[in-house]
Amino acid sequence: MARRMMPGMVEYGNGVGQATGATGGGGGGGGSMDAGAAVGQFFDNAVHTISTMPPTQLALLVIVIVVGLVIFKRAF
């Protein structure tokens, strides 16, 4: 039997990065650091969260917001 001498090989570009997260490039988990996109994503997530709430939870949210605005108005 012939014995093969193969050094440990690594996939192209994924050697250390997947195991340790030590890859080059942009920060933030591989995403971009675009502030405008982050703000847009924040509002998109907020709209999605509100649109999926049940009616009783929406009513409670409206009451909490109105009471909070009344308290804020009296404080200032």
Q: What is the DSSP letter of 29?
A: T
Task: Return the pLDDT at 34.
Answer: 80
Q: Which comes out higher in pLDDT, residue 4 or 46? A: 46
Answer yes or no: is 1 within a domain: no
Give per-residue pLDDT as tens, 48-74.
Answer: 999 999 999 999 999 999 999 999 999
Q: What is the DSSP letter of 23?
A: -
Task: Return the pLDDT at 54.
Answer: 95
Task: Return the pLDDT at 72.
Answer: 94
Q: Please provide residue 49's backbone torsions phi and psi, each rounded to the nearest 5 degrees.
A: -65, -45
Answer yes or no: is 64 within a domain: yes
Answer yes or no: is 56 within a domain: yes
Answer yes or no: is 37 within a domain: yes
Domain that holds residue 45: 33-75
Task: Return the pLDDT at 38.
Answer: 87
Total structural domains within the chain: 1
Give per-residue pLDDT as tens, 31-51.
Answer: 556 888 888 899 999 999 999
Answer yes or no: is 52 within a domain: yes
Answer yes or no: is 15 within a domain: no
Residue 18 pLDDT greater than 80, yes or no: no
Answer yes or no: is 58 within a domain: yes
CB 53 within 8 Å of CB 61 = yes
